[in-house]
Structure 1
Amino acid sequence: MTPVAEPGRWRPYAGQNRQGLWSLYRKEVTRFFKVAVQTVLAPLVTTLLFLAVFTLALGGADRTVGGVPYVQFLAPGLVMMAIVQNGFANSSSSLVNAKVQGNVVDLLMPPLSPAVLTAGFALGGMTRGLVVGLVVGLAIALFVRLPVADPAAILFHAVAGSLMLALVGILAGLWSEKFDHIAAVTNFVVTPLAFLSGTFYSVERLPPEWAFVAHLNPFFYLIDGFRAGFIGHADGSRAVGYAVVLAADALLWLACHRLFRAGYKLKP
């Protein structure tokens, strides 16, 4: 017979619970697809507005950056920004919803190990980021001719970027006790890092001291590597970018696993 664990305690054998992982992942994906107007259509409209403002209203259509028209330089950055913001939003909002609605016990009672919880929420957030990124990219392609220089780099940074922010969303969701806390993380951490990562400009044009600061921002390597996959030009070292992104994802995964194992702000 299957042993019954005490409520709120992790079951040591649950790391092999593939059905539990699939159920959690499916719940996360179904949750954002049910409100696709909010989770997919809204980011699409916002991104197209950014594209219109920076290329039309601000006269960017006549400029070149990195040897390509500014609109081709800008478009990949906007797609990546949509990917990371939505990867963060999915996992963070899911955890805070569970806390606010009082159904966080649904995470503690089933045989879901810390590894399963980390993977389920991270993959759910990553899926939303990739879906939004694909939709936004296809919409932008209707207005901007995007070259493809390195498909492998595009795929790697899309997956790694959405995973990174899904993991950051897990950390924020575990720490937050209400939606105001999530809004604070979004407004003071995620959005500034995304906007100051070279999305709208080339960091090569920054003064040396500010360019150094920009290279400390992990979002810079996501934007720069993803853009290089399209236009073939990177502002920073692509090898360093791969290393930073992989290291950040690994450290964030370990941090999420550790907090789930400790029941941080989940257990009474």
Structure 2
Amino acid sequence: MNERPFLPWLPFYTLLQKEVRRFLRVASQTVMTPIITASLYLFVFGATLGDRISVLPGFNYAQFVIPGLILMGVINNAFSNTASSLFMSRYLGSIVDLLVTPVTPSQFIFAYTLAAMIRGLLVGLVTWLISLFFAPLPWVHPLAAVAMATLASFLFAQFGLIAAMYASNFDSLSMYTNFILLPLIYLGGVFYPISILPPFWAGLSHLNPLFYLIDGFRHAVLGVGDIPFLLAFAVSALMALGLFGWAAFLIGRGYRLRG
């Protein structure tokens, strides 16, 4: 009798467990591959350029670039988890089995989201641990850094859900990664500070939503950034709220989930 209050959430826990087990079952692809990629970046920018150049006073290049690489891993993997999982369920038709279960739209979206956040933050954590071999980070505001990384994983979990529902085939799904996500990441200040750009390009970079996530996370870690942390966090939170509302609206309507 004591378990009855938790029964309505049983579908949520079951779906969350399924999603976590799904990416852990192929951890060599979903976790190890992005970690190896991040390690190569760290070797190139840490071992070869780390102490030779500096783009931020008081920090070497490795210290500057590591926060961006950590957040890049969080973003890419949170997006990939929801996008690939939901799209494959649609593509294979197994989404129909899920829709006839007593899973509510809120349970549906939060189960997919939380699993994606776990994967993204796990990759980010391991990337940081590997970065310790190349350069130490001061972690000036650790709680703010965790909050920004969590917000980034949540935001791109929603984006992954939206992409999976709009994609009609594998090519259109990969378009979101190759022509939207990666350009925004690379032009968002992962490898250079926006402040060193000419005024026109610096102003244009402020239209890049990834700039606020990356700069906010770097600001929390290093204590310096191109914009105030609260501004970066507020803009990122508004974007996350907007994408969550969009994803919830589509899932609530069953948009392209029933064939």
**Which bracket does the TM-score occupy, shorter chain normalised?**
over 0.9
Distance 2:215 2:227 in 1: 7
Q: What percentage of aligned pairs have identical amino acids?
A: 38
Determine the structure 2 residue equivalent to 1:4: none
**Distance in 2 between residues matched to 1:17 and 1:169, nearest whole Å:** 26
How far apart in 1 are the matches of 2:129 and 2:145? 14
Determine which of 155, 161, 165 is the counterpart of 2:152.
161
Q: Which residue of 1 aligns with 2:249?
A: 258
The Cα shift of 1:259 comes to 0.1
Which residue pairs with 2:54 in the alignment?
64
Query: 1:12-40: CA deviations, max 9, x gaps?
Result: xxxx9311111111111111111111111
What secondary structure is seen at the aligned counterpart in 2 of 1:239?
A: helix
Which of 230, 233, 238 aligns to 1:247? It is 238
Pairs within 5 Å for 1:1-268: 17-57=8-48, 59-67=49-57, 68-268=59-259
Structure 2 runs not aligned, ≥5 long: 1-6
Q: CA deviation at 1:66?
A: 2.1
Which residue in the other structure is 1:7 paired with? none
In 2, the alpha carbon distance for the partners of 1:229 and 1:105 equals 43
- Structure 2 residue matching 1:116: 3-state secondary structure: helix
SS of corresponding position for 1:234 = coil
SS in 2 for 1:250: helix
Task: Tell me whether 112-121 or 68-77 shows the greater mean CA deviation.
Answer: 112-121
Q: Which moved more, 1:167-176 or 1:212-221?
A: 212-221
Kept after mapping to 2: 8 A contact 1:32/1:90: yes
SS in 1 for 2:152: helix
Counterpart of 1:195 in structure 2: which amino acid? Y
Q: CA RMSD in A?
A: 1.4
State TM-score, norm by structure 2: 0.93
Listed one character per residue, the Cα deviations across residues 48-97 of structure 1 (whole Å, up to 9, x for unaligned) are 1112223455x453112222111100011001001000000000000111
Contact 1:17 1:116 in 2 (8 A): no
- Paired with 2:126 and 2:42, the residues of 1 have a C-alpha distance of 15
Deviation at 1:219, TM superposition (A): 1.0
Mean Cα deviation higher: 76-85 or 111-120 = 111-120
Contact 1:125 1:162 in 2 (8 A): yes
Q: Residues 145-172 of structure 1, C-alpha deviation per residue, up to 9 Å, x if partnerless? A: 1111001111111100011111100000
Distance 1:60 1:144 in 2: 8
SS of corresponding position for 2:51: helix
Q: State the TM-score, normalizing by the size of structure 1.
A: 0.90
**Matching residue of 1:11:** none
**Structure 1: 4+ residue segments shifted above 4 A:** none
Task: State the shift of 1:135 in Å.
Answer: 1.0
CA distance in structure 1 between the partners assigned to 2:10 and 2:24 by the alignment: 21
Distance in 2 separating the partners of 1:80 and 1:118: 22
**Amino acid across the alignment from 1:62:** R
Q: Distance in 2 between matches of 1:38 and 1:95?
A: 17
Task: For residue 177 of structure 1, give the secondary structure of its aligned residue in structure 2.
Answer: coil
* Paired residues, number: 252
**2:14 match: secondary structure:** helix
Q: Structure 1 unaligned runs (5+)?
A: 1-15
Question: How far apart, in 1, do the equivalents of 2:228 and 2:183 lie?
Answer: 22
Aligned counterparts of 2:107 and 2:204: Cα–Cα separation in 1? 36
